[in-house]
Structure 1
Amino acid sequence: MPVFMIERRYAEDVEANAEEVDGINRINDEEGVRWLYSFLSADKRKTYCLYEAPSPEAIRRAAAKAGLPADVVVEVSERILADGSRARV
């Protein structure tokens, strides 16, 4: 399954509780999208999320249903490791 990095920009600090995350995961399931993990910026106004999904459109549909931004969606295929080697995602 393709892997995507999503940048989300928020007007307010990001706060998420278990109930909200559960709802997001249920919506993702409807679109065939799997949230792997996210990084939160120091100012808590951006997240950088890694997802498995069939397409960028599926990610955007799930985000819209969940009321989340999906400002930038980029497919990624390889990781560059600290030793300079590459690994498939």
Structure 2
Amino acid sequence: MPLFLIERNYAERLDVTAEGVREITEINQDIGVHWLFSFLSADKKKTYCLYEASDSEAIREAARRAGVPADVIVEVSEINPTAFA
């Protein structure tokens, strides 16, 4: 399945709750989008998330339903953390 890196910009500091994560997980499952991992910026106003999805439209739909931004969506070919070691 294709991999996508999503950049999300938030106007204010992001505070993640367990309930919020559960809701997003349910939306993702409904659409067929699979979250792999995320990074939170030091100021807590931006996230970078890696997902598996059929296409970028599935990512956009999941973000729309969850009420979260998906400002930049980039399809990536491979994640290999040891490639540059």
What count of residue pairs does the alignment treat as equivalent?
Answer: 83
Q: Deviations over 1:13-56 (max 9, x none)?
A: 11111111010000011110011111000111100000000010
More strand as a share of residues: 1
Structure (1 or 2) with the larger CA radius of gyration: 1
Which ranges of structure 1 fall in alignment gaps of 5 or more residues? Answer: 84-89
Structure 1 counterpart of 2:42:
42
* Alignment map for 1:1-89 (pairs within 5 Å): 1-79=1-79, 81-83=83-85
Which ranges of structure 2 fall in alignment gaps of 5 or more residues? Answer: none
| Divergent runs of 4+, >2 A | none
* TM-score (normalised: structure 2): 0.92
* TM-score (normalised: structure 1): 0.88
RMSD across aligned positions (CA): 1.0
Identity of aligned residues (%): 61
